[in-house]
Amino acid sequence: MRKNFFSLAVLTVIIVLSSCSSKSSFDSDVRKMADYRCKVQQLEAKDPSDQKAQKELEEVKKEMDAYREKMSKKYEDKKDDKAMNEQADKIMDEVMAKCK
């Protein structure tokens, strides 16, 4: 599960990093994806027998997948932009460091 989550996170960062729109829009998009990742991490840490948490986890994952798909299309032409990838990594790390 963790390996799958890590792969998803890496793919998300690569996709989201590729931005052709304004910097503030890009920052917001990366932060939103990081917020999804944080929420998933928090829900996965809860007791697996907690049905409410498991249902919420599934819903958040669906929302995150839909958002990732949307961002993949939005930033498709900037996938190889190294500076944007580095910026996204920095933002993602910042948000995830605060995730508890």
pLDDT in tens, 67-84: 999 998 988 888 788 888
71 phi/psi in degrees, rounded to 5: -70, -35
Average pLDDT of every residue of the chain: 83
pLDDT in tens, 41-62: 999 999 889 999 999 999 999 9
**What span, in angstroms and rounded, lies between the C-alpha atoms of 84 and 53?**
34
Task: Give the CA angle between residues 24, 56, 45 to the nearest 5°.
Answer: 90
DSSP string, 9-56: HHHHHHHHH---S-HHHHHHHHHHHHHHHHHHHHHHTS-TT-HHHHHH
